[in-house]
Amino acid sequence: MKKVGVLGSGVVGRTLAEGFEKHGYEVMLGTGNPNKLSDWQSGTNGKVASFERAASFGDLIVLAVKGTAAAKIVEQVKVGISGKTVLDVTNPIADGVAKDGVQALFTGPDESLMEKLQELVPDAFFVKAFNCVNNKLMVNPPKSKAVVMNICGNDGPAKKEAKEVLTQFGFKSKDVGDAAAAREIELAAIAL
Ligand SMILES: NC(=O)c1ccc[n+]([C@@H]2O[C@H](COP(=O)([O-])OP(=O)(O)OC[C@H]3O[C@@H](n4cnc5c(N)ncnc54)[C@H](OP(=O)(O)O)[C@@H]3O)[C@@H](O)[C@H]2O)c1
């Protein structure tokens, strides 16, 4: 059975972890505070551990942490994610309230969070995925709501692996380029 380490205990991490379980993966969910998920842990939903343990456990990694904390957590799990595909669900949403209904990003116009994360761990294979989809529609949404999901990253086999996951989760996907294309995909998430 394929193992997935889902880094993130928010609604996205828990939703995707449950989705992977449903599709037959063995799941470990990583958090900075394993005690807070004692209810979740006691259900049928995989195991809960530290970010580092979950990263070492997974053959495939899902990064679903708060954008402002992503670089710190990726540094923490550097060893565990090296050589693995990392589905990067994060968005660079700045702290603070949305102004006039528009959420501010902490990245500039010629930057993306995923490129920064890829630079931190050059031998991990980051693929941007799921970041433009509301958590309620992340796992096998009704066909009418299953958008074509744009993905990007520098590694062909990792993008192939991401596409296979997305097919299982009910999405068609489109490879829009290398890691720099995350600038566009992350911008699109503002509309979420
Ligand atoms: N919500 C959506 O529908 C949606 C859709 C697409 C993409 N996204 C993106 O997916 C990511 C996860 O979103 P979310 O809504 O599930 O929850 P979130 O609140 O953005 O993230 C929760 C996770 O981030 C960690 N975290 C938060 N602040 C931290 C800090 N200062 N230091 C260390 N860790 C910290 C938490 O750690 P602990 O486990 O220790 O609490 C938890 O694992 C975000 O980047 C978001 O932009 C969200």
Please report the pLDDT score of residue 123 as a whole number.
98
pLDDT at 14 over 90: yes
Q: Whose C-alpha lies nearest to ligand 1, atom 9?
A: 90
Mutation choice for ligand 1 from 66, 106, 126, CB with most ligand atoms inside 8 A: 66
Whether the Cβ atoms of residue 75 and residue 120 lie closer than 8 Å to each other? yes
From ligand 1's centre to the CA of 17, what distance in Å?
A: 14
Tell which atom from ligand 1 comes closest to the C-alpha of 37: 39
Contacts by residues 105-108 (CB-CB < 8 Å, ≥ 24 positions apart):
105/186, 105/187, 105/190, 106/67, 106/68, 107/183, 107/186
Q: Could you tell me which residue, 43 or 188, shows the higher pLDDT?
A: 188
User: What is the rounded average pLDDT of the residues 75-89?
Assistant: 98
What is the value of pTM for the model shown?
0.97
The token pair that represents 62 in the structure block: 């899902």
Burial class of residue 121, CB neighbours in 10 A (0-12, 13-18, 19+): buried
Over residues 87-143, the pLDDT tens digits come to 999 999 999 888 888 889 999 989 999 999 999 999 999 999 999 999 999 999 998
Q: Can you tell me whether residue 43 is helix, strand or coil?
A: coil
Over residues 132-163, the pLDDT tens digits come to 999 999 999 998 888 899 999 999 999 999 99
Looking at domain 3-191, its CATH class is alpha beta
Q: How far is CA 158 from CA 59, 146, 191, in A?
A: 12, 22, 27
Query: Which residues line ligand 1 at a C-beta cut-off of 6 Å?
Result: 8-13, 31-33, 64-67, 69, 73, 89-91, 93, 131, 133-135, 192
From ligand 1's centre to the CA of 191, what distance in Å?
A: 17
Over residues 35-61, the pLDDT tens digits come to 888 888 776 777 999 999 999 999 999
From ligand 1's centre to the CA of 178, what distance in Å?
A: 24
Please report the pLDDT score of residue 46 as a whole number.
79
pLDDT at 28 over 80: yes
The phi, psi pair for 157, rounded to 5°, reads -60, -35
Work out whether strand 149-153 and strand 125-128 pair parallel, antiparallel, or are unpaired. Answer: antiparallel
Whether the Cβ atoms of residue 161 and residue 126 lie closer than 8 Å to each other? no
pLDDT at 165 over 80: yes
Q: Taking Cα atoms as reference points, which of 8, 46, 12, 11 lies closest to residue 30?
A: 8
